[in-house]
Structure 1
Amino acid sequence: MKKKTQPAKPAAKKGRARKNVKLAPTPPQAGFPVVAIGASAGGLEAIREILSNLPVNTGMGFVVIQHLDPSHESMTAEILSRSTRMHVREIKDGMVVMPDNIYVIPSNCNLGFSQGRLKILPRSETRGQHLPLDHFLRALAAERSTHAIGVVLSGTASDGTQGLRAIKAEGGITLVQEPESAKYDGMPRSAIASGAVDIIRDPKGLAAELVSIARHPYVIPRATDVESEPLKKSEILAKIYSVLRSGTNVDFSHYKHSTIQRRIARRMLLQKTDDLAQYAAYLEGHPDEAKALFADILIHVTSFFRDKKVFEALKTKILPKYFKTRDRSQPFRIWVPGCSTGEEVYSLAMTFIEFQDESATTSPNGCATPVFFRGTTLPVTRLLRKST
């Protein structure tokens, strides 16, 4: 007996998806660079100039963070789409960042970044300044590390400065608009003063730098491994250590090799070379580059009350015990050796003041307690002196 054949289902029409089936795009491999471009007042023109001078196939993803009026719908994505052939879209929560696409922050929010996806976050309800660029740059640094690139353009105040410091600390690349070319130079100048900026150019020059960065082995996935063959050339590395020792009086030969090699690779990108021997020769003939490499190796990663438990123990256990038996006629001083950019100094001073207030303890002889500090480098020490 012949089996009854079921009538064939009609073929789905070409180009139409089945109903109720919605597959979220899978984040691509995390190896490609993500560029955050941030601006405030006067920055839209600079963003447009950068995008109009970029090819459509850099292989990088772009996230635009602009200070926007929280009460108005943003038209930024539509405006920027006129300056580039890359796909420009306003960010929706959970959107995956893809290479050669531009993502624009909506108004009245902060932006996070985790596992390749952008996260819309509520704007902080505080009286202080809204710092959306700092917020995103820190998230980008944590997510992309050496593949994080931050660009700060025209704007007032200082948004972006702390975010660039976070990116540089993770081995990423930082760029800033030349203050003279910015309509408002507050944000660029603040970033430059922090010492966290690698490249300073006008908008067209920034576009050219981004193209150069996109082609360098430091940010190409197949060459990101710090143990790759060019960096295994022990004789050349020994020469680099020797140059550093001569120029800085510091011997890095016993320092963590992977960290040194990562920082060398980063400096090679900034000097536009992918040849280790060529870089070693350049380093030998340019003392300023040796200082720059030295500063990169001793990158300043710090924050106020960085290890909260330590400061709490100091205030509640160590200081009370110390002052319980201390001769009150003897002076008391605080010394912070080899500090980074001052956060440790102020954290200790504030901890001591809180201890005094809470325990009704006064400084010996009724005098203020002096806090001494010493930076790891002369520029850092100068910066600290300015803040006192």
Structure 2
Amino acid sequence: MPPMPPEDVVESTPLDAANAPETGFTVVGIGASAGGLEAFTQLLGNLPADTGMAVVLVQHLDPNHDSMLSDILGRATPMSVETATDGVAVAPNQVYVIPPNTILTLEGGQLRLRPRDASQRLHKPIDTFFESLARDRGHNTIGVVLSGGDSDGSLGLEAIKAAGGITLAQSEASAQVSSMPHMAIATGQVDFVQPPAKIAATLTRLSRHPYVSRPVAEPPDTAASETAASDTAAPETAAVVGETETLAAIFALLKASSRVDFSQYKLTTIKRRILRRMALHHIEQIDRYRQYLQETPAEVQALYQEILINVTSFFRDAGAFDRLKKEVFPALLRDSQKLTPEGQRDLPLRIWVAGCSTGEEAYSIAICLLEFLAHQPQRPSIQIFATDVSEQSIKIARQGIYLPAKVADVSADRLQRFFVPVEGGYQINKLVRELCLFARQNLIGDPPFSRLDLISCRNVLIYFGSALQKKVLPMFHYGLKPGGFLMLGSSETVGEFTDLFAMLDLQHKIYAKQSSARRLNLDLGESSPDRQATATPFTYQEPRPTPDLYSAADQVVLSHYGPVGVVVNGQLDILQFRGQTSAYLEPAPGRASLNLLTMAKDSLRLDLRTALYQAKQLSQPVHKTGSLREGDRLCPVAIDVLPFQPAAEGETCFLVLFATGSGDRDGDAQGEAGGATPTLTPDTPAPEHQ
């Protein structure tokens, strides 16, 4: 094992300036556990020595034994392979391997080692490294999860994708132990699902794309419309004018599809998301990508979801929640009691979580508030409104079901009191769920909530240009009661509106509403016409069952001997029921929905989600065996997902078939690992990702 300084020295040692790392190249983090040696060998054996990328391998190792992994892998690749040492600067075309009994991170382009903490409840070295990789390299990051027996790496892949990086997972059929790839795929954040040899080919192809092979130029940190209208900008070349017009056309496509105007979001963020999608499809010219968007409605939806990606977690920034319990909640309770007419119940505490993503923030606030009120003699009712512009995120939030990796950092006490174990993870208990009302809302254009005690809007304003921030902050002031509070993200401020909000906690960005003589201009409408995109509108038509769809589905069903199932579109909304599906699907409580994952029974949902995601990724049939709970026992259920197009140029639909039984049949491995891949040209989108 290589020498490593004591833990206190590692934490305090500054990065070696003399050993300053080369920047601008991509670092590939690869994580594995059981079965990882075979996968590492296959991947590295098919990876050229001149990709220009650094590769860091994080393997779950026995903490009490030396590792020969570097020596073994050194014989499988022409690249130089070395065991990571503290302070070494990563370099292109080099492979670094984690040593046993350590935690590995990347800081300032240098690998840092510290001893493994034996007191930690869960050991997650892959998540830890991936998250540090995302922080340090941003979009110059690729994360790969290979064979392994737990969920390590899933959260790290989410962080990499949110930073603009690219994510891959080994196909379950090719993995010796499939749990780690399975849990990674189930997050919905994996770009490619492939066996190790094909992962190597994908990495090679990506290494040649400009998004990966060279740094992305950083435009001024402002909104797209402001950049285009700047009077002080340098004279625009024909290329710049062309790019501006192309971006305007892309904004128009997004707005026609989602009713959200992204033209005043920060251009830096939007361009990076667009370039990432271009890299996935191996498209190098932005005008070619605009054409692809016009031809492919599903890609417009994919780009829309890409722009809205945000990393969230339960009790993120724990200190902020401590301040809520010590400072904010006591003040709100005093005001509630003070303003309540004598003889009546206390006024409800009203909280708005704006930009709630998949619900972790809203549920965390609800849990903290319940913990606080448990020690108070008077307990007012609670109303928590949680909104997001992404309908997909809202659906997940309403269900309140999260993978084990998502609750890994939740304390054992909270896990027992506020969560219920379900198939494939944990669900927020009914008491907490009933406090939170989730709804889709466009923060820019839809009316705000009012008479609020607290607004939490963390890590949302950082994506807005200054013009949008100047719209939203006065709206928050309007929505708060006198004495109300506003909580922002750690890198956000109220800007010029210091007369509207007084700083309560600088570190955790908690503000108190101030009365102000300023006349507030609450502009809740869309952007002004001169700022709207001027491209030809792109009109969506909702996919509807047609005779072609029914006949195409009939042909597929007949070839599979008539099992029951459903036909769904790309958004997983059910277009047609085929046979009696009540054994597998049932209406969910609350708002009516025909979304397949919403209607699927709890025990089937995780395996069904994974199968659907792989079918989208591979564009070919996927077979998977799930479990259906019947009383106290679990029965195996065969799940088949078959992509098909009812019309020559129509949207891809999916036939999802269920059959109770062993679930075993010939061809399972072929169905999950994938068959032949169509030949790609530089302008041909790769078919293996969403």
What TM-score, normalized to structure 2? Answer: 0.50
**SS of equivalent to 1:45:** helix
The corresponding residue for 2:216 is 224
- Structure in which a larger fraction of residues adopt strand: 2
The corresponding residue for 1:284 is 294
The corresponding residue for 1:101 is 94
The corresponding residue for 1:381 is 394
* 8 Å CA contact 1:27, 1:97 repeated in 2: no
Residues of 2 paired with 1:72 and 1:308: CA distance?
Answer: 36
**SS of equivalent to 1:150:** strand
* 8 Å CA contact 1:179, 1:185 repeated in 2: yes
1:265 aligns with 2:275: yes
Q: CA deviation at 1:173?
A: 1.1
**What do residues 236-274 of structure 1 show as CA deviations (whole Å, max 9, x unaligned)?**
111111111111111111111121111111111011111
**SS of equivalent to 1:300:** coil
**What do residues 21-45 of structure 1 show as CA deviations (whole Å, max 9, x unaligned)?**
xx99834421110101100111211
**What do residues 293-346 of structure 1 show as CA deviations (whole Å, max 9, x unaligned)?**
111111112233335554344323332233331453655565534311222022
Q: CA deviation at 1:358?
A: 3.8
1:343 aligns with 2:396: no
Q: CA deviation at 1:359?
A: 3.2
Q: CA deviation at 1:138?
A: 0.8
Residues of 2 paired with 1:99 and 1:316: CA distance?
Answer: 49
> How many pairs align?
361
User: Could you tell me which amino acid in structure 1 is paired with residue 273 of structure 2?
Assistant: R
* 8 Å CA contact 2:346, 2:380 repeated in 1: no
* 8 Å CA contact 1:91, 1:118 repeated in 2: yes
1:159 aligns with 2:152: yes
Q: CA deviation at 1:348?
A: 0.3
Please, which moves more after superposition, 311-320 or 268-277?
Answer: 311-320
**After the TM superposition, which residues 260-339 of structure 1 pair with which residues of structure 2 at under 5 Å, given as runs?**
260-308=270-318, 310-324=320-334, 325=337, 326=340, 327-328=344-345, 332=349, 334-339=351-356
* 8 Å CA contact 1:300, 1:341 repeated in 2: no
Please, which moves more after superposition, 351-360 or 321-330?
Answer: 321-330
**What do residues 125-154 of structure 1 show as CA deviations (whole Å, max 9, x unaligned)?**
225221000011111111111111110011
Q: CA deviation at 1:201?
A: 1.2
Aligned residues with identical type, % of pairs: 44
Q: CA deviation at 1:374?
A: 3.9
1:172 aligns with 2:165: yes
* 8 Å CA contact 2:30, 2:144 repeated in 1: yes
- Structure in which a larger fraction of residues adopt helix: 1
Residues of 1 paired with 2:175 and 2:383: CA distance?
Answer: 42
* 8 Å CA contact 2:277, 2:303 repeated in 1: yes
**SS of equivalent to 2:374:** helix
**SS of equivalent to 2:19:** coil
1:202 aligns with 2:195: yes
Change in Cα spacing, 1:310 to 1:93, as seen in structure 2 (3 Å) is: closer
1:38 aligns with 2:31: yes
1:242 aligns with 2:252: yes
User: Could you tell me which amino acid in structure 2 is paired with residue 354 of structure 1?
Assistant: E
Residues of 2 paired with 1:24 and 1:234: CA distance?
Answer: 40
User: Could you tell me which amino acid in structure 2 is paired with residue 102 of structure 1?
Assistant: V
* 8 Å CA contact 2:21, 2:108 repeated in 1: no
* 8 Å CA contact 2:347, 2:380 repeated in 1: no
Change in Cα spacing, 1:150 to 1:157, as seen in structure 2 (3 Å) is: same
User: Could you tell me which amino acid in structure 1 is paired with residue 217 of structure 2?
Assistant: D
Q: CA deviation at 1:184?
A: 1.6
The corresponding residue for 1:355 is 372
- 2:137 corresponds to which of 144, 167, 170: 144
The corresponding residue for 1:118 is 111
User: Could you tell me which amino acid in structure 2 is paired with residue 75 of structure 1?
Assistant: M
Q: CA deviation at 1:190?
A: 1.4
* 8 Å CA contact 2:150, 2:179 repeated in 1: yes
Structure 2 unaligned residues grouped into runs of 5+: 1-15, 221-236, 402-427, 429-690
Q: CA deviation at 1:353?
A: 1.9
Structure 1 unaligned residues grouped into runs of 5+: 1-22
Residues of 2 paired with 1:51 and 1:337: CA distance?
Answer: 44
**SS of equivalent to 1:319:** helix
The corresponding residue for 1:91 is 84
**SS of equivalent to 2:138:** helix
**SS of equivalent to 2:95:** strand
Residues of 1 paired with 2:240 and 2:199: CA distance?
Answer: 28
